[in-house]
Amino acid sequence: MRRRTLVSGMLAVTMLAACDAQEGGVGSDGGDPGGGGASDGGASDGGGAAAAPVQQAVAVTYGPLELQASVVSVVRSGEHLVLTLDVTADDPDEDLRFGPVDALSHGSSSDNVDAREYDALRLLDLSGDRCAVVAMDTEGRSVVTEPAARWRDRDQPEGTERVQLVYGDLGTDEVTVLIPKGGLLAPVPVTDDDVPDARAEEPLDLGAVASAPVNPLIAFSTDLTSTTRTESTPDSTIVSLGADVLFDSSSAELTADSQGVIEEAAQTLSEHEPGPVRVVGHTDSVDEDAFNQDLSERRAQAVADILGTLIDGADYPTEVSGKGETEPIADNDTDEGRTLNRRVELSIDTPVVTQGTVTRELPETEGPVATGEQGVSVGDPTPVEVRAPSARLVQDHLVVHLEITRLDEAVDNAIGITDFSGGVAMPDGVVRIKSNAGIAVMDGPVATLPAMHHVGDEESAIRALTDLRTNSRFDGGATRVDELIYPACLTVGETITIQLAPSGWRLTDIPVER
């Protein structure tokens, strides 16, 4: 087993550079993606010959169709990367109104924040824990090419269209391509060749790019048995302890359950180099300002007193304060929000030097339980079978292969498998019901969600490295594939367990290929 870097609790963490990288780039064979011609799709710094086909493809299910998305090339052009895909329909006469590229777009956009198309089709640098999303112009539209005309009217292989998409430069010699409802293609080389012929009415306009975000991956975990949350970077950690576990209502007297919670927090802090530890109390807004301020200070001091018996005060001196109700992290108008706001935060700004391990039994779950190979049947009135026959490691990231099969005979129906359970708390901006972001890898009660990233700056929405539009067209009898990418450096044994958090279906004994 590898050492886990995610501590018990809810975690939003930029991936730790201290994790040991593991080999494991995985490629896929199949399909001739088509050749490249002279470039009319954008300039290249290199000015060399057209890029040769990469010979990688995945199958994508859309309604009754099976599409093949084939990588032609990833080309470095100035400050950007240009991904060229050829998309082919297995039966082009079957229910395609606008062509294969349009079908791929319908399954590749989450449609919940902005006008960005193809936001689920991403380029990844998994060794550096970074993600590039499709670039946008000044009007907030994706910078992509559109096919020249309906594919039926063009002189090219039957049922095939081409799309080109612009991304920020990840600065690597190869990338991983994540295609929704298909999976990962890796490693895909990045070349300095000319951008292939776009086969479009207008060439790709790199000058239209207003933003091309490249952002770090984020890890997010929640302890399903407590309200502890932890947020970390390589150089800092914030452990947020739920006040409802530590104290009775309106009290600063620690409860019997508080000792274990504070001990876990002390262990997390001690994994950092010595430095000051800030202990800050926070409340909700129910009582008067003065009462809340005083309560937050007394609660912070109570935690600091216990913390001082668990860590060396000379190495980790505490700085105690209270913020009352002035720094909420959630909406005080809801019970859930007030619960999150009642907290004591412990923070340290020094690098991590060691990581501990946590191993505990799985909690009970209300949903059906089976092995990943057997799968579970869920959903009413829309029945689906969910299987996870395998998982693998790709550059230290766990990738779970998920298969979802419709068990009825519905046609042109949209449904997402995460519709069938209440949602685990998510980072702001994550839409659970439209993605597979709520499917967690379980380590005892700690549920680690798929790796996530911002789509723009730190104030923007967050996307998970999963299918982002599970509620797109999904016909009866069809099987849809999703590959879920999890944060690096999880504890990964010979098998893993996944669960629709917090208490949905569970799949156990999923073998991990190495």
- The CATH number of whichever domain residue 387 belongs to comes to 2.60.40
By the 10 Å C-beta count (0-12 exposed, 13-18 middle, 19+ buried), 23 is classed as exposed
Lowest mean pLDDT of 4-13, 294-303, 464-473, name the range: 4-13
Q: Residue written as tokens 């190869």?
A: 174
Give the model's pLDDT for residue 7. 34
457-482: average pLDDT: 82
Structural domains counted in the chain: 3
- How remote is the C-alpha of 146 from its chain's centroid? 28
User: In whole angstroms, how far apart are CA 53 and each of 72, 86, 134, 193, 316?
Assistant: 5, 10, 21, 12, 56
DSSP 8-state symbol, 15 = P
Give the model's pLDDT for residue 424. 52
If asked whether residues 425 and 455 sit together in one domain, one would say yes
If asked whether residues 123 and 179 sit together in one domain, one would say yes
pLDDT per residue as tens digits for the range 376-397: 998 767 788 999 999 999 998 9
How far is residue 460's CA from residue 449's CA, in Å, rounded to a whole number? 19
Lowest mean pLDDT of 3-17, 53-67, 316-330, name the range: 3-17
156 in a structural domain: yes
400-410: average pLDDT: 91
If asked whether residues 193 and 292 sit together in one domain, one would say no
Partners of 280 in beta bridges: 321, 345
How far is residue 289's CA from residue 156's CA, in Å, rounded to a whole number? 71
373 in a structural domain: yes
pLDDT bin (cut points 50, 70, 90) of residue 347 is very high
pLDDT bin (cut points 50, 70, 90) of residue 431 is low
If asked whether residues 178 and 268 sit together in one domain, one would say no
What CATH number does residue 283 fall under? 3.30.1330.60
If asked whether residues 299 and 425 sit together in one domain, one would say no
Partners of 86 in beta bridges: 70, 162
If asked whether residues 51 and 178 sit together in one domain, one would say yes
Question: What average pLDDT does the structure give for the chain?
Answer: 79
108 in a structural domain: yes
If asked whether residues 315 and 392 sit together in one domain, one would say no
pLDDT at 154 over 50: no
18 in a structural domain: no
How far is residue 113's CA from residue 176's CA, in Å, rounded to a whole number? 25
Percent of the chain with pLDDT over 70: 75
If asked whether residues 149 and 247 sit together in one domain, one would say no
pLDDT per residue as tens digits for the range 124-149: 999 999 999 999 999 888 999 977 65
pLDDT bin (cut points 50, 70, 90) of residue 65 is confident
Q: Which of 348, 371, 394 is the last residue of a domain?
A: 348
Higher-confidence position of 250 and 264: 250
pLDDT at 3 over 80: no
Q: Residue written as tokens 């776009």?
A: 198
Q: Does an H or E element contain 385, and which?
A: strand 384-394
How far is residue 160's CA from residue 172's CA, in Å, rounded to a whole number? 30
pLDDT at 462 over 70: yes
Residue 473's domain spans which residues? 359-513
pLDDT at 427 over 80: no
Name the token pair of 242: 């739920």
Give the model's pLDDT for residue 166. 97
If asked whether residues 40 and 101 sit together in one domain, one would say yes
Question: CB neighbours (10 Å) of residue 458?
Answer: 7
Helix%, strand%, coil% for the chain, nearest 5: 10, 35, 55
Question: CB neighbours (10 Å) of residue 54?
Answer: 20
Helix axes 289-307, 258-270, angle to 10 degrees: 70
